[in-house]
């Protein structure tokens, strides 16, 4: 079929694009309904993607559980799939291409972009990937529309030997590369990762690739065991009270050079400041709740010169590096996937992602 300059697959063997699709629609605080919605129409310069996999991110869970945004919305921004529609003027992509897509793309020319603060770019804050309603990613649906700036600069081709599940990690890996770089993790340093969920494990593995000695901290024994199988040097239960002792043993008693905080609780910052050495760095990765307030001892910064850093979202100039680490399998991201759910089981998937048990790690949706 063809309309308004849009080209869609229509051969007998090709995927036929319907007019209605299934989507998990956020309908208010704590409420997600799987329902029928229109397949998003695309215009000139745009691309339609049939979603194959979309990971559940902690920010999705926070928005749903705490009602940080107005309904209706379709969340999901760790998207991979197949191009099934191209708008007039699109030359970079063709029908059948296997791709992943970012949902934010910076302008690359403004004050913030010149300083590599891409997530603060006004253009970056405008979401360019949607399944309908207010654009908000849209990966928890069968089809998403990539707007022109995303179609041109925010999509990555996926090789045939890489699964869509693996490709869906490009965005979260990119965010973790940014965090590790911002924390200035260096070879020979002692790095502590607080929280060994999917993001904590990515931060830990990337720190190992930088040549750091990495100690993980998590109360769940299954996650500590997984971290050791992925190459961490040590994994400690923080509730046993020996984390500081273990860090001291690997740092001549100084404390950690860097603490990467991948748990979204206010007290984590105070704990991290107590573990890092004078002049060391603490990076907050999970503290993106707009209502959260954190207190910490001022002397830790004002006297001991410990740095508190933040890192949010991805950087466009590391998209290729994130893809390379996954495509070469230097980062074995498939090892982080514990559960896969259909779109119809979206609420079960969200519950598991929000309240992990046993060996649960990354939860991926197959719409």
Per-residue pLDDT band at 340 (split at 50, 70, 90): very high
Per-residue pLDDT band at 14 (split at 50, 70, 90): low
Task: Give the model confidence (pLDDT) of 294-334 as tens digits.
Answer: 999 999 999 999 999 999 999 999 999 999 999 999 999 99
């609420």: which residue's tokens? Answer: 347
Q: What domains, with CATH codes, occur in the chain? A: 2-171+315-366 (3.90.180.10), 184-310 (3.40.50.720)
Task: Give the model confidence (pLDDT) of 235-288 as tens digits.
Answer: 999 999 999 999 999 999 999 999 999 999 999 999 999 999 999 999 999 988
pLDDT of residue 3: 37
pLDDT of residue 53: 98
Sign of the alpha-carbon torsion through 199, 201, 207, 212: positive
Instruction: Provide, rounded to the nearest whole percent, the portion of the chain with pLDDT above 90.
Output: 93
Per-residue pLDDT band at 63 (split at 50, 70, 90): very high
Q: With left for phi above 0 and alpha for psi between -120 and 50, is residue 67 left, alpha or beta?
A: left
pLDDT of residue 6: 45
pLDDT of residue 168: 98
Per-residue pLDDT band at 291 (split at 50, 70, 90): confident
pLDDT of residue 1: 36
Task: Give the model confidence (pLDDT) of 152-182 as tens digits.
Answer: 999 999 999 999 999 999 999 999 999 999 9
Entry pTM: 0.94
Which residues partner with 99 through β-bridges?
81, 157
Task: Give the model confidence (pLDDT) of 177-201 as tens digits.
Answer: 999 999 999 999 999 999 999 999 9
């Amino acid at each position: 079929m063809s309309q308004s300059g849009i080209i869609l697959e229509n051969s007998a063997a090709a995927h036929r694009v319907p007019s209605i699709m299934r989507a998990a629609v956020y309908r208010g605080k704590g409420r997600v309904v799987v329902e029928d919605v229109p397949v998003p129409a695309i215009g000139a310069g745009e691309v339609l993607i049939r979603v194959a996999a979309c990971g559940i991110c902690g920010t999705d869970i926070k928005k749903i559980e705490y009602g940080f945004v107005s309904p209706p919305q379709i969340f999901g921004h760790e998207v991979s799939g197949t191009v099934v529609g191209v708008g007039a003027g699109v030359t970079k992509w063709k029908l059948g291409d296997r791709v992943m897509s970012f949902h934010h793309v910076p302008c690359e020319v403004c004050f913030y972009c010149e300083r590599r603060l891409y997530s603060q770019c006004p253009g970056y804050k405008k979401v360019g990937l949607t399944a309908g309603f207010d654009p908000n990613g849209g990966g928890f649906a069968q089809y998403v529309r990539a707007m022109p700036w995303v179609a041109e600069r925010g999509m990555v081709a996926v090789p045939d030997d890489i699964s869509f599940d693996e490709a869906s990690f490009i965005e979260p890996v990119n965010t973790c590369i940014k965090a590790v770089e911002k924390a200035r993790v260096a070879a020979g340093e002692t790095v502590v990762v607080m929280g060994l969920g999917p993001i904590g494990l990515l931060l830990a593995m990337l720190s190992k690739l930088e040549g750091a000695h990495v100690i993980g901290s998590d109360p769940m024994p299954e996650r500590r065991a997984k971290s050791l199988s992925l190459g961490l040097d040590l994994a400690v239960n923080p509730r046993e009270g020996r984390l500081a002792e273990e860090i001291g043993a690997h740092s001549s008693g100084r404390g950690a050079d860097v603490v990467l905080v991948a748990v979204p609780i206010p007290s984590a910052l105070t704990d991290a400041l107590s573990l890092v050495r004078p002049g060391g760095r603490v990076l907050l990765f999970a503290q993106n709740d707009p209502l959260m307030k954190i207190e910490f001892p001022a002397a830790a910064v004002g006297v001991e010169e410990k740095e508190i850093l933040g890192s949010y979202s991805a950087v466009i100039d590391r998209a290729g590096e994130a893809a390379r680490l996954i495509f070469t399998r230097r980062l074995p991201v498939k090892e982080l996937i514990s559960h896969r759910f259909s779109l119809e089981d979206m609420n079960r998937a969200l519950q598991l992602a929000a309240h992990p048990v046993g060996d649960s790690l990354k939860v991926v949706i197959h719409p």
